């Protein structure tokens, strides 16, 4: 996973470090259809991902930790985590991913790239993809715990007709 952060000076945060809450909140049961992912980028540059049944609770816990540079959530716009392409029906499709900045102690922008990853489908044989990118304005998360409006990243998919029939599955991942 590569997250490119173009940042200026860090802003001082007043919240106390509550690093213990994040794993506890994120350990809550995750429903099978919950496709929300919380990404926490620390000031050291290390990024961690968590599946979160409640993006509000997980983001609030992450934003209280002073070692966090910024955090954001990732979820499919339509709520479906696995994409199915049906040969003979689907020719091309755009998949929209919503990325929401939940907090930031930085100023600047961060680029978050996405692409398709095959499940039962193989890139180059079954489909071609056009990667997408979300550009987060880190200045928008200065309030600590508040969230900015979602930014969209679109990954384009084109099914390659190779004479086979059936349904191919794949997913969209951060790259």
Task: Tell me phi and psi for residue 122, to 5 degrees.
Answer: -115, 130
**Segment 153-166, tens digit of pLDDT:** 999 999 887 767 77
Pairing of strands 151-159, 92-104: antiparallel
Domain count, the chain: 1
Query: pTM of this prediction?
Result: 0.73
- Number of residues that this document lists for the chain: 175
Residue 18 pLDDT > 60, yes or no?
no
CA atoms within 13 A on the CB side of 19: 6
Q: How far, in Å, CA of 157 to CA of 175, rounded?
A: 16
Average pLDDT of the segment spanning 76-91: 80
> Which structural domain, as residue segments, surrounds residue 27?
4-174
Average pLDDT of the segment spanning 83-94: 82
Task: Report the SS3 class of residue 26.
Answer: helix
pLDDT of residue 17: 31
**Percentage of residues of the chain with pLDDT beyond 70:** 72
Mean pLDDT in the chain? 77
**Segment 97-120, tens digit of pLDDT:** 999 998 998 999 999 999 999 888
**Percentage of residues of the chain with pLDDT beyond 90:** 33
């Amino acid at each position: 996973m590569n997250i490119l952060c173009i940042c200026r000076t860090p802003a001082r945060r007043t919240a106390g470090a509550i690093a213990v809450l994040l794993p506890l909140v994120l350990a809550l049961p995750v429903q099978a259809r919950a496709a929300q992912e919380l990404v926490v980028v620390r000031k050291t540059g290390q990024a961690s991902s968590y599946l979160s049944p409640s993006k509000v609770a997980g983001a609030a816990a992450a934003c209280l930790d002073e070692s966090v540079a910024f955090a954001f959530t990732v979820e499919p716009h339509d709520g479906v985590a696995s994409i199915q392409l049906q040969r003979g029906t689907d020719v091309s499709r755009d998949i929209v991913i919503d990325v929401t900045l939940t907090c930031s102690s930085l100023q600047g922008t961060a680029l978050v790239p996405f692409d398709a990853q095959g499940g039962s489908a193989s890139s180059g044989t079954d489909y071609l993809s056009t990667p997408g990118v979300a550009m987060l304005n880190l200045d928008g998360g200065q309030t600590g715990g508040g969230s900015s409006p979602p930014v969209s990243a679109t990954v384009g998919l084109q099914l390659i007709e190779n004479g086979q029939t059936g349904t191919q599955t794949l997913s969209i991942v951060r790259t």
